């Protein structure tokens, strides 16, 4: 039996996928991630930005609230989820750092899932 451990960010990505608006139906998480990746490439990557790191582009795309990923985006909701998960956000500095790193960490988690599911 294979045991899979998902990070907070990986779970956030997987729990946020919504492909219904695209009329895309998948059978598993691997297919979901692959479809989201295709959507990302079609919607966001073009000749004027394709020279950028893919993880940076993906983080930027997430900030635009794509309909295929309903990621928590308000600072309040992000910090509430962080508290539930046991992250230390007990000071204003800790909150600011968590929020600053949030989108990049989500992007990295997406590519970890894409490469390892």
Instruction: Tell me the pLDDT tens digit for each residue of 68-116.
Output: 999 999 999 999 999 999 999 999 999 999 999 999 999 999 999 999 9
Residue 58 has pLDDT above 70, yes or no: yes
Overall number of domains in the chain? 1
In a domain, 43, yes or no: yes
CB 33 within 8 A of CB 113: yes
Using DSSP's 3-state secondary structure scheme, residue 47 falls into: coil
In a domain, 17, yes or no: yes
In a domain, 35, yes or no: yes
Query: What was the pLDDT predicted at 3?
Result: 47
Residue 1 has pLDDT above 60, yes or no: no
CB 21 within 8 A of CB 12: no
Rg (CA), the chain: 15
In a domain, 3, yes or no: no
In a domain, 31, yes or no: yes
In a domain, 1, yes or no: no
Q: Which domain holds residue 69?
A: 8-116
Query: What was the pLDDT predicted at 117?
Result: 83
pLDDT tens string 17-43 = 999 999 999 999 999 999 999 999 999
CA distance 35 to 90: 37
Query: What was the pLDDT predicted at 4?
Result: 64
């Amino acid at each position: 039996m294979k045991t899979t451990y998902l990070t907070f960010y990986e779970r956030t990505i997987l729990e946020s996928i919504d492909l219904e608006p695209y009329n895309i139906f998948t059978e598993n998480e691997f297919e979901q991630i692959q479809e989201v990746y295709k959507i990302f490439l079609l919607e966001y990557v073009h000749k004027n930005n394709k020279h950028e790191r893919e993880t940076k582009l993906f983080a930027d795309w997430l900030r635009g609230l794509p309909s295929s990923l309903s990621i928590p985006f308000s600072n309040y909701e992000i910090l509430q989820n962080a508290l539930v998960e046991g992250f230390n956000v007990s000071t204003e500095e800790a909150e600011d750092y968590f929020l600053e790193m949030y989108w990049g960490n989500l992007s990295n988690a997406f590519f970890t899932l894409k490469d390892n599911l």
